[in-house]
Amino acid sequence: MTDLLTRLGGLAYGGDYNPEQWPPEVQAEDMALMREAGVNLVTLGIFSWAMVEPEPGRYDWAWFDRVLDLLAENGIAVCLATMTASPPPWLARAHPETLPVRADGTVLGPGARQHFTPSSPVYRRYATRLVERLAIRYGAHPALAAWHVGNEYGCHVAESYGEVDAVAFRAWLRDRYGDLGALNAAWSTAFWSQRYGAWEEIEPPRAAPTFGNPAQRLDFRRFSSDALLACYRAERGVLRRVTPDVPVTTNFFPLGNPALDLHAWAAEEDVVSYDSYPDPADPEAHVAAAYAYDLMRSLKGGAPWLLLEQAPSAVNWRVVNRPKAPGRMRLGSWQAVARGADAVLFFQWRASRGGAEKFHSAMVPHAGPQSRTFAEVRELGRELAGSAELAGTRVLADAALVLDWPSWWALEQPSHPSGRLRQMGTNLAHYAPLWRAGVTCDVVRPGSDLSRYRLVVVPNLYLVSAADAENLTSYVRDGGHLVVSFFSGVVDEQDRIHAGGAPGPLAEVLGLHVTEFWPLAKGEHVDLAEPGTGWLGEGAARGTLWSEAPRLEGALALATFASGGPSGHAAITRHPYGEGVAYYLATRPDPATMRTFLDQVCAAASVHPAVSGLPDDAEAVIREATDGTRYVITLDHATADVRIDRA
Ligand code: GAL
């Protein structure tokens, strides 16, 4: 990563380059326009497999050699794709068992992309063979700066339920449990006569008459993330062997679909890459984008990450695809840089003339360089080139939110007290007030070292292991401020209810037990009252989405339910524990009340905004260089203003 940035001499700027979609003579204009736009990095070859290997084992490298040479001659570095995200049609024809299968048995065929199951040894064999050829051929090419493995693993096909997958799932389970007795216990198979007597009886959780076994489904999600990761690792293994000094990454697709356990994935990358597509029609999209960027930075302990894709303007895959208004692409790009990105790349360089993405915007639109989009692209390239000193600097954050994939997977299973509880909505309900208050947050796993944070917020941790609960508990014992929201600490790693019920192993630090859940219907709310504590602020305070009845065992009520099922019970509590304090929310306060509450928690924890006094729709983030130089990046989403100050 450092080598990549040293080589570029600053922030990376560019996009996906798919020259095979155009006649070769366009490439000369591409080079001239790239130079004009300040492009210094392109990701190349993402969907080129069928063009470089038109028949099994027959390669056509000549055209690809020319493109790489041309880029090198023009001083443009290449993040070279391994080309394995879309196998050529010949692979499906020769080996239909490489195709993915849905839970209902539908086989997904070629003609789009990502039509492979990661568990297919045949797919892996062909993929790694190609990767080896690529690495040998281009490993010493002057344009090569990094490897881009696959493309958005799992974005279209996160799970596959075929025979090949069943075999791999069983092997994964044997590895995890060792013997069937342990598996039967972990999956609670005494329920509904599900006990397994032989490994061969176990199948992926295919379409079934009613609710499937939740522990089986949870393990299948773990397995599916691991199966994709195994594909990535197989390719990376080849790359490491042939080109040990070239950094390796793969681009994560937009948060929302939790297919991959990004904590496990990021550990296998040299640098984290993310694709970001905030909806220009959504007035809150920049808040969710900020959350995603904070997570990307945190996945590798605060190291700079690469924004590997974003749209210069409109996408093609929403129902209505709005362009980005003037200035918004610049603002969104700077938002990523403010939150730790060292690269701003787009999908894609030149707009496609044919294919499913011909209406997706590009740096060079169909209308050519005489366009608003290209003018903005050129201007941004100039700005980023002038901000080279930001590369490698790190974001300062005193607060963190907790996120855990297995818990997310388990939370969103069916047959729960409420189907309205969604992990990302919950995360953002806690993140948005902190964002509005100007507080920079990392997003970390529950078992990570929390000692550097003054405040840790757990929006929801339905599934918690004893070790993670102990980590959160000792964080408070040692002086930390912890906020935990409802329906946390409910189950263990196998989705079995913790003894004594929620919040399970978090009961000690929170000083309470939950005796009843009272989830709320859409539009329903409960009134909150406070016994003169001042924690709710002015005006009516309401709880939404959920309510529950805690039994206090040391915690004190900061607010109580004044209506609804748990009327009279504590709704918000505070529990001094060891050197620190733990707060609990037994409901989702309305946004204003949530903000009032979190403002007070921040004040108590001495957590301050990076810059105080900013309007609510502005954000400021500080990046710090190793020599202590600080840069304050201030972005106003109301006016689309961007400022970068040395502080
Ligand atoms: C990404 C993908 C790109 C392109 C883009 C369009 O998910 O990696 O190849 O399809 O979306 O928005």
- Measured in angstroms, how far is the CA atom of residue 151 from the centroid of ligand 1? 9
Per-residue model confidence as pLDDT tens digits over 445-464: 999 999 999 999 999 999 99
| Nearest Cα residue to 378 out of 341, 338, 333, 321 | 333
Checking if the pLDDT of 3 tops 80, the result is no
Which numbered atom of ligand 1 lies nearest the CA of 152? Answer: 8
- Measured in angstroms, how far is the CA atom of residue 308 from the centroid of ligand 1? 10
Pure H helices in 162-284: 163-177, 180-186, 214-242, 262-266
- Measured in angstroms, how far is the CA atom of residue 438 from the centroid of ligand 1? 31
Residue 76, phi-psi category: left (phi > 0), alpha (psi -120 to 50), beta (remainder): beta
Per-residue model confidence as pLDDT tens digits over 470-507: 999 999 999 999 999 999 999 999 999 999 999 999 99
- Measured in angstroms, how far is the CA atom of residue 254 from the centroid of ligand 1? 10
Residue 169, phi-psi category: left (phi > 0), alpha (psi -120 to 50), beta (remainder): alpha
Tokens 């020769």 belong to: 94
Amino acid identity at 133 = R
309 assigned to active site: yes
152 assigned to active site: yes
The DSSP bridge pattern shows strands 630-636 and 641-646 to be antiparallel
Strand order in the sheet with 641-646: 394-395, 618-624, 630-636, 641-646
Tokens 């603002």 belong to: 331
Checking if the pLDDT of 532 tops 90, the result is no
Using CB atoms within 10 Å of the CB of residue 207, give its burial: 0 to 12 exposed, 13 to 18 middle, 19+ buried.
exposed
Q: Residue 345: CB within 6 Å of ligand 1?
A: no
* Calpha distance 398→262 (Å, rounded): 22
Active-site residue, selected from the candidate residues 53, 159, 235, 309: 309
Tokens 């839970």 belong to: 103
Taking residues 337-343, what's their average pLDDT? 98
Taking residues 22-41, what's their average pLDDT? 98
Local structure of residue 209 (DSSP, 8 states): S
pLDDT of residue 472: 99
Checking if the pLDDT of 5 tops 70, the result is no
Mean pLDDT of all residues in the chain? Answer: 97
Amino acid identity at 74 = N
* Calpha distance 356→431 (Å, rounded): 35
Which numbered atom of ligand 1 lies nearest the CA of 251? Answer: 8
Checking if the pLDDT of 2 tops 70, the result is no
- Measured in angstroms, how far is the CA atom of residue 156 from the centroid of ligand 1? 11
Residue located nearest, by CA, to atom 5 of ligand 1: 347
Residue located nearest, by CA, to atom 12 of ligand 1: 315
Residue located nearest, by CA, to atom 4 of ligand 1: 347
pLDDT of residue 221: 98
- Tell which one of 347, 348, 361, 363 to mutate to probe ligand 1, the residue whose CB is within 8 A of the most ligand atoms: 347
Q: Residue 383: CB within 6 Å of ligand 1?
A: no
Residue located nearest, by CA, to atom 7 of ligand 1: 253
pLDDT of residue 181: 98
Active-site residue, selected from the candidate residues 152, 159, 376, 548: 152
Q: Residue 308: CB within 6 Å of ligand 1?
A: no
- Measured in angstroms, how far is the CA atom of residue 428 from the centroid of ligand 1? 24
| Nearest Cα residue to 296 out of 322, 354, 335, 241 | 335
pLDDT interval class at 211 (50, 70, 90): very high
Taking residues 592-598, what's their average pLDDT? 96
- Measured in angstroms, how far is the CA atom of residue 140 from the centroid of ligand 1? 29
| Nearest Cα residue to 347 out of 269, 271, 235, 253 | 253
φ/ψ of 491, rounded to 5, equals -130, 165
**DSSP result, 433-474:** HHHHTT--EEEE-TTS--TT-SEEEES--SB--HHHHHHHHH
Residue located nearest, by CA, to atom 3 of ligand 1: 347
Amino acid identity at 318 = R
Q: Residue 152: CB within 6 Å of ligand 1?
A: yes
Checking if the pLDDT of 1 tops 60, the result is no
Which tokens in the block code for residue 560?
């109580």
Tokens 């997977």 belong to: 409
* Calpha distance 606→604 (Å, rounded): 6
pLDDT interval class at 397 (50, 70, 90): very high
